[in-house]
Chains A and B, each alone.
Chain A
């Protein structure tokens, strides 16, 4: 009598489960495969010497590449820190409009995909950055902070040198979305 109902319920649960697994799996798959694809596209765009999208339907551009020599990690930087962009790569937090030399470059990425390596960064580590101007700059990590609110207080006069800020969610191994952020500041080395 009830067996049909329960069979239906069971089927529903199985279907939900499968869809859920597939959907959730998409995120790391996107991160892994997307990074490869972006890598290739970025190299091509450097050759072509023009700002380009990784694929036609994308609503973001590739604007640079970040390399951590110590961890042998490189990430393509996208011009947007929207959820869609950050599913594929790391994004530049939108301060590009007000950008001047004294403004730091702020990059954000997910703690459980692209920015997982941030837990292994220490003060003094080198980070290499190439933006679309094709100049390879080296930054050295000068400090690490944890903020309670998802905000970054910047003082304009503070940085005479160019600086690079990487940010991701804190704590690293938590599975809940939170307001805390881990912030790594790196100063340009000459």
Chain B
């Protein structure tokens, strides 16, 4: 029994009866009145008429208002709209495509397994994926995978059918030649290339129909705490990138950065892959994490997924997912140290006779030194259509908060962009109380619509500062969009930023966090990523309060005499409260004491670091190399070097990548099997060799039984054509249209009732005159 419905209905009927009785009562009373007061009728008639009209009108009006209220408010108020768990239309993920000849078809990704080992401030990730060729011919698979932007990819292991191959690092072109030759000869081969610093592709040649491929990729990344909390992020979503309208210099090269024709050609080829989205629902992911922090933990939490946490010892935990998850949103794990004052850390790895150090400076969590610095601040706010709903609502709250926090001697401006840009004021204005109120009203009116074009908005904002040097200049850039024309934006930032600091805020699962964090690094600011829509205004508030007072500025590192080392990043950025800085150092034998100097407000700050006390940790050397590569890439874009210098930077970059075995813009990882696997005119029959897994390979991932991992439906089919059809059929998505499911009977009743009331009023006026 729908009780709520019943109640509402009874209420409506009640109101209808009430109004009818009142109105008829009004009419009867009036006629009685007329009969009894015949004498004064002439005199008072207009007055009485007016009174009666007024009365009936009032009754009608009151009833209508009551009705409207009863329709819109009761019973429903208890319902607060839920956030949909995920919108079906928005699902995106890494994709695998099979290519044979000109024919493209999608492949089924059978499983993804991610193992992460965290040790101190470094993490090693092993991603194992199994997929199956669902096309009817021999094909080449291309898998696009996104990973964290400071990750160093160094290992590739592959099993195709009954063969095992391991990748080695080569110069990009050389690797490509090796791969293409192997492919042409019908050998199994695989090639990992970096398309963008946070986007890699893995190509696998000569996969037989129905053959299973296991790919295992390993990479090293660096972890840094923020506000005393550590975050590990496993990107599972590859967003469709927003392509800018083409501009002159990009015509030839497509839209990716790093103006190298070959890479761009490759990239464009891969862009096509993104059109196919069908296998997004066939991508179950398993994640397990070995968290060995070395210090006692206060809490461990997964932001979006349910996890099982097993405590092995203080500071050592095992984290598992209860079951496979769909790759529709990033996996995020956060933990905090029990002792919040875990301040500075130093890790060391010796490789080829050289010491590699990773020094992490953790500023205090609270700023004890409150210096009121004068600021000029520009907010750049994305108001494109993708921001609509919770993101724009929350960023408005965040912006409002930021404006309220401004001091009266601060200057500010707000720049909005979607397909076009506009600004609150022509140039930054003083944040007087009146101006703040006006700006808040301006912010509250914002709504999100149309596309995204960042360049003009950023360009305008960068040239919008008016104050002299001593003033702290800050740009706050908030967007949820993915960017493709990174290099253009980078050179813009580098050329125009001058002494200003750039802070970037990425929202949702789509933003290009490589661009955002690199831009912030370049702009000597910081980057935050907000995955949970409910957290936007809170996290924005944290950022705003943090950047009011930089903790330590003008940082410099002085190494002991006799220790010549390469240090990255260079120059060192400012330190903010709760925002640590890691410095990667490589040199001969690390001994002596390094001195870090800086300024807290106008006071000098000095820290002494004994270099020989670093804790041994594997992976630090690779992190250093990755840091160096990032730095070189940054220089290549930002210093605007000539061709000679560019070549010099490139050769240094390649040398570093090859020495440390990392995939980079100039180096790829290639794996080739020695014996041909494609039967050329010869049927090998059914002789099967026993599969032996190479030493050191994880049997759990590489040793499988075909029958166990391939879905039944795919196994049962003998003919390749049927097989192909079945695979296609399985992937076919069905679209079911849904019927109209609203009666809207309340509105009908309301309108009918209004008509009734109007009719009765008309009758009561004109009917009376008739009687007279």
- Give A25 Cβ to nearest chain B Cβ, in Å: 7
Q: Does B742 touch A at the CB level, under 8 Å?
A: yes
Residues facing B in A15-73 (CB within 8 A) are 15-21, 23-25, 27-29, 31-32, 35-36, 73
Given known A-B contacts A3-B769, A35-B2, A150 and B738 have beta carbons under 8 A apart: yes
CB of A145 within 8 A of CB of B86, answer: yes
Q: Does B740 touch A at the CB level, under 8 Å?
A: yes
CB of A154 within 8 A of CB of B734, answer: yes
- Give B87 Cβ to nearest chain A Cβ, in Å: 6
A91: B residues at CB distance < 8 A: 739
Q: Does B756 touch A at the CB level, under 8 Å?
A: yes
Q: Does B101 touch A at the CB level, under 8 Å?
A: no
**Nearest A residue to B280, CB-CB:** A155
Given known A-B contacts A12-B759, A145-B85, A157-B731, A106 and B736 have beta carbons under 8 A apart: yes
B4: A residues at CB distance < 8 A: 116
CB of B760 within 8 A of CB of A157, answer: no
Q: Does A126 touch B at the CB level, under 8 Å?
A: no
A42 CA to B658 CA in the complex, in Å?
A: 75
A63 CA to B745 CA in the complex, in Å?
A: 27
Given known A-B contacts A13-B755, A154-B736, A111 and B766 have beta carbons under 8 A apart: no
- A residues with a Cβ closer than 8 A to B are 2-4, 6-7, 9-21, 23-25, 27-29, 31-32, 35-36, 73, 81-83, 86-87, 91, 93, 95, 98, 106, 108-117, 119-120, 122-123, 143-148, 150-158, 167-169, 171-178, 181, 183
CB of A181 within 8 A of CB of B751, answer: no
- Give A122 Cβ to nearest chain B Cβ, in Å: 8
**Nearest B residue to A22, CB-CB:** B752
Q: Does B43 touch A at the CB level, under 8 Å?
A: no
B303: A residues at CB distance < 8 A: none
User: What is the predominant secondary structure among interface residues of chain A facing chain B?
Assistant: mixed
Given known A-B contacts A13-B756, A14-B756, A14-B763, A28 and B745 have beta carbons under 8 A apart: yes
CB of A13 within 8 A of CB of B759, answer: yes
Residues facing A in B745-772 (CB within 8 A) are 745-749, 751-763, 765-767, 769-770
Q: Does B561 touch A at the CB level, under 8 Å?
A: no
Q: Which of B8, B16, B770 contacts A7 (CB 8 A)?
A: B770
CB of B79 within 8 A of CB of A112, answer: no
A172: B residues at CB distance < 8 A: 76, 79
A24 CA to B730 CA in the complex, in Å?
A: 46
CB of A24 within 8 A of CB of B745, answer: yes
- B residues with a Cβ closer than 8 A to A are 1-2, 4-6, 8-9, 12-13, 16, 71-72, 76, 79, 81-82, 84-89, 278, 281-282, 711, 729-749, 751-763, 765-767, 769-770
| Residue of A25, A83, A114, A157 with highest tally of chain B CB at under 10 A | A157
A157: B residues at CB distance < 8 A: 281-282, 711, 730-731
A29 CA to B8 CA in the complex, in Å?
A: 12
CB of A93 within 8 A of CB of B759, answer: no
CB of A17 within 8 A of CB of B738, answer: no
The 4 A-B pairs with the shortest beta carbon distances in the complex, nearest first, are A20-B752, A17-B756, A13-B759, A10-B762
- Give A31 Cβ to nearest chain B Cβ, in Å: 7
CB of A169 within 8 A of CB of B740, answer: yes
- Give A110 Cβ to nearest chain B Cβ, in Å: 5
8 example contacts (A-B, Cβ-Cβ < 8 A) are as follows A20-B748, A21-B752, A28-B8, A145-B84, A150-B738, A155-B278, A156-B733, A158-B282
CB of B763 within 8 A of CB of A112, answer: no
CB of B86 within 8 A of CB of A143, answer: yes
Q: A112-B5, A145-B86 are in contact. List 13 more A-B contacts (CB 8 A).
A: A3-B770, A7-B770, A15-B759, A16-B755, A17-B758, A20-B751, A25-B13, A29-B9, A31-B2, A93-B739, A110-B743, A146-B87, A157-B711
B755: A residues at CB distance < 8 A: 13-14, 16-17, 20
- Give B10 Cβ to nearest chain A Cβ, in Å: 10
A176: B residues at CB distance < 8 A: 742, 744
CB of B741 within 8 A of CB of A108, answer: yes
CB of A27 within 8 A of CB of B743, answer: yes
A32: B residues at CB distance < 8 A: 1-2, 5-6, 9
B748: A residues at CB distance < 8 A: 20, 23-24, 27
Q: Which of B8, B13, B762 contacts A6 (CB 8 A)?
A: B762
CB of A116 within 8 A of CB of B746, answer: no
A84 CA to B364 CA in the complex, in Å?
A: 69
CB of B743 within 8 A of CB of A112, answer: yes
A13 CA to B753 CA in the complex, in Å?
A: 10
CB of A13 within 8 A of CB of B762, answer: yes
B743: A residues at CB distance < 8 A: 27, 87, 110, 112-113
**Nearest B residue to A109, CB-CB:** B741
Q: Which of B278, B730, B745, B769 contacts A27 (CB 8 A)?
A: B745
B13: A residues at CB distance < 8 A: 25
- Give B3 Cβ to nearest chain A Cβ, in Å: 9
Q: Which of B1, B711, B757, B769 contacts A17 (CB 8 A)?
A: B757
- Give A138 Cβ to nearest chain B Cβ, in Å: 19
- Give B19 Cβ to nearest chain A Cβ, in Å: 11
B758: A residues at CB distance < 8 A: 13, 17
Given known A-B contacts A16-B752, A24-B745, A27-B745, A86 and B739 have beta carbons under 8 A apart: yes
A154 CA to B4 CA in the complex, in Å?
A: 33
CB of B282 within 8 A of CB of A10, answer: no
CB of A152 within 8 A of CB of B762, answer: no
A148 CA to B757 CA in the complex, in Å?
A: 38
A91 CA to B735 CA in the complex, in Å?
A: 18
- Give B747 Cβ to nearest chain A Cβ, in Å: 5
Q: Which of A9, A36, A81, A145 contacts B762 (CB 8 A)?
A: A9
Given known A-B contacts A20-B748, A27-B745, A172-B76, A167 and B738 have beta carbons under 8 A apart: yes
B763: A residues at CB distance < 8 A: 7, 10-11, 14
A177 CA to B278 CA in the complex, in Å?
A: 31
**Nearest A residue to B81, CB-CB:** A171
CB of B87 within 8 A of CB of A116, answer: no
Q: Which of A15, A35, A174, A178 contacts B1 (CB 8 A)?
A: A35
CB of B734 within 8 A of CB of A156, answer: yes
Given known A-B contacts A12-B759, A32-B5, A177 and B730 have beta carbons under 8 A apart: no
